[in-house]
Structure 1
């Protein structure tokens, strides 16, 4: 019987891939039918991506907009559901277009089954988003 990483370990691995700007490997962590949701996204911004291909398309140019340097705060909470974790985290870096600092806090609810992300709800605060390069990235809709 194959052993798959626990959701918390899979999530930590994904953060390392994002810092390495290895978006293709990060997308490979997703199930083909995975869903990526942004419940707090303003009107006109992406709210729901369905399928690994949609996630890949959305994330393809992420490093061209946001240069992540670190996740100085990551706190993972196990839940009563063995496949689901809740994550509090902070990502810092810079906006590529302007060089301005990027500093965002997130809460994410992530479900992973058989070593693949099947559902990721990203509760980021759009009011904290700088009004330049990062906004251009997040505003794209499907």
Structure 2
């Protein structure tokens, strides 16, 4: 009997945690599949010349395509998920650690994300990451911009 893949969770917190596992596995296509076709992904603190808004699943896929070539994520040692008064929206405080592929230097980033899920897909993702980190050598998403 062939093995079947586990179903993808649909509740916001479980879907988000599943997405983190996919990022650690460097399975970017599966991570992108968690997003709605008409999703909006925003970076409110994006540095100048970096995108501050991606519209649609394809834009997210294009942006994330080379992520594993730049950042080798090893772990999310801190993930706190807070439920909001809107059941479909969560606020996430997390820390991701790994290394920068180009230089081998450590990668250690804290994030706050506001994520909205509808019908088992992410419809809105606001990523409040530290823009000072892109000033580090080896963290350059030039081909994604």
- Whether TM-score is above 0.5 comes out as yes
Displacement of 1:43 in angstroms is 1.0
Are the equivalent residues in 1 in contact too, given 2:19–2:34 (CA < 8 A)?
yes
**CA deviation vs aligned residue, 1:106-142 (integer Å, no higher than 9, x gap):** 00000010000000000001113452222x127843x
When the two structures are aligned, how many residues end up with a matched partner?
138
Of 34, 41, 47, the match for 2:39:
34
* Cα deviations by residue, 1:32-69 (Å, 9 ceiling, x for unpaired): 00011000011101110000000000000000000000
The alignment status of 1:94 with 2:79, answered yes or no, reads no
Cα pair distance change 1:65/1:9, threshold 3 Å: same
- Give the Cα separation in 2 of the matches to 1:77 and 1:138: 33
Q: TM-score, normalised by structure 2?
A: 0.90
- Does residue 137 in structure 1 map to residue 138 in structure 2? no
Q: Which runs of 5+ in 1 are unaligned?
A: none
- For residues 1-142 of structure 1, the aligned pairs below 5 Å read 5-134=10-139, 136-137=140-141, 140-141=144-145
**Contact 1:70 / 1:92 at 8 angstroms: preserved in 2?**
yes
Does structure 2 conserve the Cα–Cα contact (< 8 Å) formed by 1:46 and 1:138?
A: no
Please, which runs of 5 or more residues in structure 2 have no aligned partner?
A: 1-8
Runs of 4+ with deviation above 4 angstroms: none
CA contact (8 A) 2:81 2:92 kept: yes
Whether the 8 Å CA contact 1:88–1:108 is kept in 2: the answer is yes
Provide the alpha-carbon RMSD of the alignment.
Answer: 1.6
Partner Cα distance (1:99, 1:25) in 2? 26
The change in CA–CA distance for 1:84 and 1:105 in structure 2 (over 3 A counts) is same
TM normalised by structure 1 equals 0.92
- Name the SS for the 1:117 alignment partner: strand
